[in-house]
Structure 1
Amino acid sequence: MSPELLAVSFALLSAISWGAGDFSGGVAARRLNPYLIALLVHATGLLLFTLLALLRGEAFQPSDIPWSLGAGLAGCVGLVFLYRAFEAGQMGLAAPIAGVVGAGLAALVGVVLEGFPAPLQLLGFGVGLLGVWLAARPEGGAASRGLAYAFLAGLGFGGYFTLINQVEGLFWPSALAKLTATTLMLGLVGRLGLLRREARLATSLGLVVLAGLLDAGGNLLFLAAAQAGRLDVAAVISSLYPAFTALLAWGLLRERLGRSQTVGVLLSLVAIALIASG
């Protein structure tokens, strides 16, 4: 298999894993505090990546430390705001907006690192902006708040894509990024006293652990895709994850969107496909 095809395959698998993980985390976010969910998701990934690094005997690269720390911070911000968006609004609406913003930011960084994007990618930017505008039309505080959170989540994910692409290793950089995010969330959750106040944790723990494993799988597959091919291709194809989140939300939760919102979501997904095909 050629490196290009391998990169696309890894990126698509990453999108599936992230989409299912976001759905699991989004369902949990309707029962538990999103900060607590983000902590447990990151902690699950930390344990998994550390175990894989030790089992594989991967050498630790000191040069990966600053990139991993930055990626962990960006990923932590992205996941927290995504769960806040899910808590405030519909998963099928918030996930595509976060995906478009994250993919667009990574593609813009790719312009600097790897040259100007193809015409289809430029078209994708325009379609994505239109999709975000249409999706943002519904009125109401919760909807507006959810859209703002989704946009901030996309910025966090775009930062993660860009920073983690700079590392040389595989499991140790991912573990260090998760350690950074886990430490940040542990401090926040401890300061807010959420572990003491959250009585429903035991009933949703399995769902949160599943979200953590799927999120970690998406992270690992994205990094493998970025190392096998171009950053922008890996990032934008991985950002197809909202399609899987929206599909699960539609099929399992029977979520419904208004006409304008539906068009906005579809355009957002088309934009990601255009950016990837370019």
Structure 2
Amino acid sequence: MMTTGGEASALALLAAAVWGTSDFCGGLVTRRSTPAVVLMIAHGLGLLALLAVLLVHPSGLPTRHTLVFGLVAGLAGGIGLLALYKGLSMGSMGLVAALSGVLTAAMPVVVSFFTEARPSILKFAGFAVAGVAIWLIAYTPGAEAHPHGLGLAVLAGVCFGFLLVFLHVAGRDSVLWALTFSRVGSVSCAVVLWIWTARKWRRQGATDAAKGRWPSILPLAAVAGILDTTGNLLYTASSLTGRLDVAAVLSSLYPAGTIVLAAGLLRERATRSQTVGMTLAIVAVAMISA
């Protein structure tokens, strides 16, 4: 029979796989449109899915605790996405992705260190190995790093870290309501970004083709949004079943799933460092889950 810790680790790894698939779909559809449109569709449909679940399985009225921390989690995630997209556009994609990924995992570990029982030495060593794995998996050599891009990477990583922390806190009373209010917060950020982008299009006289055709991007954006919401659900369940730091670090290995899908479906070859990183990820999982 699987122990509570084993169940929590399994949920976190499943969240990583789902998030990795979501990012793969989101990356494909973003090639056809702008991040603003994709983000608004994906997170908007995720919100509708959560509202539908609440209609079928009512969870009572949300507490003020869930509402506040859920909204803050969503706003942190939305701001993090905006910072990440901007940072990735500044010519230092490899460093931006790697730095934000490591910080995403590190923030909950720091919070958990002061709020929960200290992890064992083996788990703590596993966190360190996982951090190296995330860096190697996410990093790809690119253009010279832009200082502002790295600053945005730090902002994105800190915001994503707070997203994981606040989802854990908000989910203590009701996981479904916590995820719903989180999506309200992120959709608000997406709408603001879309309005800003639309105004930019009008000033530049962009054509409809530049804006992307909604029917062509809707299916993949919908899949990305539903999967991202599912990943949030699995992560939150994992953090509440076990330890916050374990759930955050294991679920932050999601870039490995994106790379595996890219290799299998798009025939993209993983770099040597990414292969080493995925090997280290397996070692880290064993150490953390022991």
Same fold (TM over 0.5): yes
User: C-alpha separation between the residues in 2 aligned to 1:156 and 1:185?
Assistant: 15
Q: Which has the larger radius of gyration?
A: 2
CA contact (8 A) 1:128 1:267 kept: no
Structure 2 counterpart of 1:43: 44
Residue among 238, 257, 260 paired with 1:225: 238
Q: Distance in 2 between matches of 1:102 and 1:3?
A: 24
1 CA distance for matches of 2:278 and 2:192?
Answer: 38
Letter in 2 for 1:106: P
- In the alignment, the residues of structure 2 paired with residue 216 and residue 267 of structure 1 have an alpha-carbon distance, to the nearest angstrom, of 28
**Any residues of structure 2 matched to 1:102-141 within 5 Å, and which?**
102-124=104-126, 126-127=128-129, 132=135, 138-141=141-144
- C-alpha displacement of 1:268: 6.9
Deviates more, 1:239-248 or 1:73-82: 73-82
Distance 2:161 2:191 in 1: 23
Asked if 2 retains the 8 angstrom alpha-carbon contact of 1:127 and 1:267, the reply is no
What do you get for the CA RMSD once the two structures are aligned? 3.5
The yes-or-no answer on 1:179 pairing with 2:191 is no
Q: Distance in 1 between matches of 2:139 and 2:216?
A: 34
Extract unaligned runs of 5+ from structure 1: none
Q: 1:63 aligns with which of 62, 65, 79?
A: 65
* Mapping 1:193-272, distance limit 5 Å: 193=198, 198-256=211-269, 258-259=271-272, 261-262=273-274, 265-266=277-278, 269=281
Q: TM-score, structure 1 length as denominator?
A: 0.82
TM-score by length of 2: 0.79
User: How big is the shift at 1:210?
Assistant: 0.4
Contact 2:94 2:142 in 1 (8 A): no
CA deviations 1:136-192 (Å, max 9, x no partner) are 583415899887765544322211111111121111111111011111210221122
Number of residue pairs matched by the alignment: 277
- Structure 1 223/41 Cα, relative in aligned 2: closer, same or farther at 3 Å? same
Contact 1:239 1:272 (C-alpha < 8 Å) held by counterparts:
no
**Correspondence 1:154 to 2:157:** yes
Q: 1:228 to 1:79 in 2, by over 3 A?
A: same
Letter in 2 for 1:37: V
CA distance in 2, matches of 1:128, 1:145: 26
Amino acid at match of 1:223: T
The range that moved more, 153-162 or 97-106, is 97-106
Which range moved further: 133-142 or 197-206? 133-142
Matched residue of 1:193: which SS? helix
Work out the CA distance in 1 between the residues paired with 2:243 and 2:86: 31
Q: Which runs of 5+ in 2 are unaligned?
A: 202-207
CA shift, 1:101, in A, is 2.4
| Matching residue within 166, 169, 172 for 2:174 | 169
Distance 1:144 1:31 in 2: 29
Pick closer, same or farther for the CA change 1:49–1:34 going to 2, 3 Å.
same
- Kindly provide the amino acid, as one letter, of the partner of residue 214 in structure 2: L
Distance across 2 between alignment mates of 1:273 and 1:245: 18
Superposed CA offset, 1:28-48 (max 9, x none): 222221122122221111111
Once the two structures are overlaid, the 10-residue window that deviates more, 88-97 or 44-53, is 88-97
Q: What amino acid sits opposite 2:56 in the alignment?
A: L
Whole-angstrom distance in 2 between the partners of 1:88 and 1:98:
14
Tell me: CA distance 1:133–1:26, structure 2 relative to 1, closer, same or farther (3 Å): closer
CA contact (8 A) 2:91 2:143 kept: no
